[in-house]
Structure 1
Amino acid sequence: MLISIVAPCYNEEDVLVRFHEAVQKIAEELLPLGHDMEFVYVDDGSRDRTLTLLKELADLDARVRYVSFSRNFGKESALLAGLRHATGDCAIVMDADLQHPPELIKRMVELRGQGYDQVIAKRTRAGDRFTRTFTARLYYRLINRLVDVELVDGVGDFRLMSRRVVDAVLDLTEYNRFSKGLFAWVGFPSTTFEYENAVREHGRSSWTLRSLLNYGLDGLLSFNNRPLRAAVYLGLGLVLLAGVYTAWIVGSALVNGVTAPGYVTTITAVTALAGVQMTMLGVIGEYIGRIYYEVKRRPHFLVKATNVELTKDLIP
């Protein structure tokens, strides 16, 4: 079995060589069992020496395949590029910063041998701050009530996928990609095991609070139209409340006569309804924006340098 290691890279010059040495060691341990490896690295527009190091690794190891983007297109595009260039019987997606322990590759391959098409590594939250754990659990509890697939807390991109799963994911050509949801959507027999996340040894994560919020919003909007349905229900509810309030005002006027008070109530209602309208317009705008990007059919990424011959099937 040929195993493709797919590793997106962004400014990983401090740890890239160590990562490759680690997965190379695992490859040597699996070789007597009849498994070979190729290493597919995707440089997502790094500003450091990541591309230079990838070229050096390719010169030293013929199994190294690298693709370098013309600019930073994001991790979702890097994952897509890596899977497009992976030729193995299965692909293992993992980060190049050593937070995904390479030694777990052997366990994934073992479970793959039991017939699973997806072997998923689930990170425990041991050592995380309470606030992060609490907000993550709250987010997943909320999102699983809304989206059409099940998203599991602690489950990310670190997984083994069989060739038919990889092909199924590549058949999903949408521009706005949320890989965690796509991996769940394609299905196929899967198994999950837990691991303790390693501490990032060099550099800082590129995930900021803003990017995490945007990522969470992508997950919410990518697999359902329930926010739009919620806007309909909210509008009908407000119409009902307005009708009840109008009836109460008319009844009060008939019984007690017309009175002047109501300024505070009016201002409060106008302000609240304006906020609701802007929120709903924002939700609708998000969906329209996604349609806008889909119909333009721009490529997910542009390649600046690679040591892989781009066939017609691989051109984005």
Structure 2
Amino acid sequence: MVHLSVVVPCFNEAEVIDTFHTALVAALEPTRETFEICYVDDGSSDRTLQRLRHLAADDPRVRFTSFSRNFGKEPAMLAGLRTAGGDAVVLMDADLQHPPELVPRMLEMHRHGYDQVVAQRDRAGEGAVRSSLSRAYYRLVRRCMDVQLVDGEGDFRLLSRRAVDCVLSLPESNRFSKGIFSWIGFDSVSFTYQNVERAAGESKWGGRRLLNYGIDGLLSFNTRPLRLAIHTGLCLFLSALAYALWIIGSDLFVGIDTPGYTTLLTVIVALGGIQLATLGVVGEYVGRIYHEAKRRPHYVVRETETSVSRVPARSGLGTPGGRARTTS
């Protein structure tokens, strides 16, 4: 019986995956707990899959799932949680920004009865602009979302088996794991660790991806943007009504010239922008409904460790994967 499963999503991490695996095993073996490491290759275009094949061939505690293409980190984490069979499951990245030496500490806190143990990073070393935008975003989501998110708390966490089962029971396709982890509840504890730079390669999370991820978070757990659109429309209607009454009254009792085209053009452009923004918000929700209604699988699997031999192949390429299968 496996006590601990470590789920590691990977995307183009060939430069660091061997170093990460060595560090993780070195951190876990002194705990004397039975463990498995579940890697998920999210359609990497480098040699990540070949390295995972060799790790699985050399170490029976290694399991891996490889996607047919890049589906994103959320499906990769979901696939890892479905693969994991341990009583406790740790989610972490392969770039060593999540220090493996913290996992035994998470296990120790889990033994005190906590279903979620969250490693919360500080923002040491981050740029001032990125840190300010992040703090502003978390202040916004705390006001808007139906779940509580804490700045610095990410995917690096330990989940008990019953917490994992609750996460897997949620059927939605548009997944925002930070919100899901908060939504399921249970007893949680967190600790802070110092921010660490990537061991190699470049971050996959550029400004555009972070912006889209932030929008996903805002829309996944509340309908307040729709309510904000209603309130904005009502405010504009009342403002326009008051302005019209003021113009009529001034014209009747004072006698003034009708406002010119500049005012009219400004109002039209402003209202047009607000209408387009409102349609965009509504469209986001409709698009999510459409995506959920299709009920497509979250990802497609190319191969797993069971479809390749555990004897290392020649030339370092591994054995070609088996027939692709679909996992919902």
TM-score by length of 1: 0.96
Q: What residue identity is the alignment partner of 1:224?
A: N
Tell me, yes or no, if the aligned pair for 2:81 and 2:168 is still in contact at 8 Å: yes
Map residues 34-53 of structure 1 onto 2, 5 A cutoff: 35-53=33-51
Contact residue 26 and residue 102 of structure 1 kept, 8 A = yes
Task: Kindly indicate whether residue 128 of structure 2 is the aligned counterpart of residue 130 of structure 1.
Answer: yes
Is 1:30 the counterpart of 2:28 in the alignment? no
2:99 paired residue number: 101
State how far apart, in whole Å, the 1-side matches of 2:164 and 2:258 are.
68
Give the Cα–Cα distance (whole angstroms) in 2 for the partners of residues 52 and 172 of structure 1. 32
CA–CA separation in structure 1 for the residues paired with 2:93 and 2:108: 21
Q: Distance in 1 between matches of 2:95 and 2:281?
A: 35
For residue 140 of structure 2, what is the aligned residue in structure 1?
A: 142
The one of 131, 156, 162 aligned to 1:164: 162
Matched, 1:295 2:307: no
Q: 2: CA distance between counterparts of 1:60 and 1:240?
A: 71
CA distance in 2, matches of 1:107, 1:150: 24
Post-superposition offset of 1:37 = 0.6
Q: Report what 2:16 is aligned to.
A: 15
* Alignment-derived partner of residue 224 in structure 1: 222
Distance of 2:121 and 2:114 partners within structure 1: 19
**What's the CA shift string for 1:205-231, capped at 9, x where partnerless?**
111110000000001000000000111
Partner of 1:2: 3
Q: Deviations over 1:226-275 (max 9, x none)?
A: 00011111111111111101100110110133624332111111110000
Match of residue 303 from structure 2: 305
- For 1:136-189, what per-residue CA distance to the aligned partner results, in whole angstroms no more than 9, with x for missing partners? 111100111000001100000000000000000001110100001101110100
Distance of 1:296 and 1:26 partners within structure 2:
43
Q: Contact (CA 8 Å) 1:8, 1:95: kept in 2 or not?
A: yes
Written as runs of structure 1 = structure 2, the 5 A alignment for 1:205-244 is 205-244=203-242
Distance 2:147 2:135 in 1: 16
The letter of the residue matching 1:68 is S
Cα distance between partner residues in 2 of 1:134 and 1:307: 43
- For residues 308 and 226 of structure 1, the distance between their equivalents in structure 2, rounded to whole angstroms, comes to 46
- Deviation string, structure 1 residues 89-114 (Cα, Å, up to 9, x no partner): 01000001111000000100000011
| 2:50 alignment partner, SS class | helix
Give the aligned residue type for 1:211. R
Q: 2 CA distance for matches of 1:308 and 1:55? A: 10
Structure 1 position 152 matched with structure 2 position 153:
no
Are the aligned partners of 1:67 and 1:308 in contact in 2 as well (CA < 8 Å)? no
Give every structure 1 segment of 4 or more consecutive aligned residues whose post-TM-superposition deviation is greater than 3 Å: none
Partner of 1:187 in structure 2? 185
Task: Check conservation: 1:69, 1:305, Cα contact below 8 A.
Answer: yes
User: What 5-or-longer segments of structure 2 have no aligned partner?
Assistant: 308-325
- Whole-angstrom distance in 2 between the partners of 1:151 and 1:62: 37
Q: Which amino acid aligns with 1:248?
A: W
Equivalent position SS for 1:145: helix
Aligned AA (1:269): V
**Whole-Å Cα distance in 1 between the matches of residues 246 and 41 of structure 2?**
65
299, 302, 327: which is aligned to 1:315?
327
Aligned-CA RMSD value: 1.4
Aligned to 1:251: 249
* Identical columns (%): 56
Q: Does 1:86 align with 2:87?
A: no
For 1:173, what is the secondary structure of its paired residue? Answer: coil
Alpha carbons 2:299, 2:327 under 8 Å: kept: no
Q: Which residue of 2 aligns with 1:116?
A: 114
Mind listing any 5+ residue stretches in structure 1 that lack a counterpart?
A: none
Other structure's SS at 1:8 match: strand
Count of aligned residue pairs for this structure pair: 310
In structure 2, how many angstroms separate the alpha carbons of the residues matched to 1:56 and 1:69? Answer: 17
- What is the Cα deviation at residue 23 of structure 1? 1.1
User: 1:216 & 1:70 partners in 2: Cα distance?
Assistant: 26
Q: Which moved more, 1:79-88 or 1:193-202?
A: 193-202
Shift of 1:51: 0.6
